[in-house]
Amino acid sequence: MADVQISVIDQQDTQVVLAAASDTAVNIAVPGVQGPPGIAAYFDVADTTYTIDEGNKSKIGRFTSSSAVTVTVPSGLSANFDCMILQLGTGQITFAAGSGVTLRAALSADKSAYQYAAISLISIGTDEYLLTGEVTS
């Protein structure tokens, strides 16, 4: 039987590493806690208005409304903020810039393109964000 090592990488992103004598490692995310890249946490939204906040950082938002949705991006999010938005319901999502915020997108696109669209919101500067993915104007 191989030796097994269990360690916590840091206090913000909890990660368990199992390492065998052969130096192979298996990463396991702890449910409900942001884990290593590639393992996502989710937040669910059924409302027709929503304001992104720091708690949404590096998570995937599942929007399920059958009515149009407005998502506001406020000022003051962290410099490396990012999240993904999924339009799972039939309600198209429109992105609105909060006071002092600039949203950038190809062809000034600011809405989800269709049901099941996936959109990334990525910080590209202080209070400046790129909308990318399945967006339309």
Give per-residue pLDDT as tens, 24-57: 555 554 444 454 555 579 999 999 999 999 999 9
Q: What kind of architecture, by CATH, is found in domain 40-136?
A: Sandwich (2.60)
Q: Which residues of the chain have pLDDT under 50?
A: 1, 10-16, 29-33, 35
Cα distance between residue 3 and residue 22, in whole Å: 9
Residues of the chain with CATH 2.60.120: 40-136
pTM of the predicted structure, to 2 decimals: 0.73
Q: Is the dihedral of CA 118, 124, 130, 132 positive or negative?
A: negative
Q: What is the dihedral of CA 91, 32, 39, 110, to 10 degrees?
A: 30
Can you give the pLDDT at residue 13?
Answer: 47
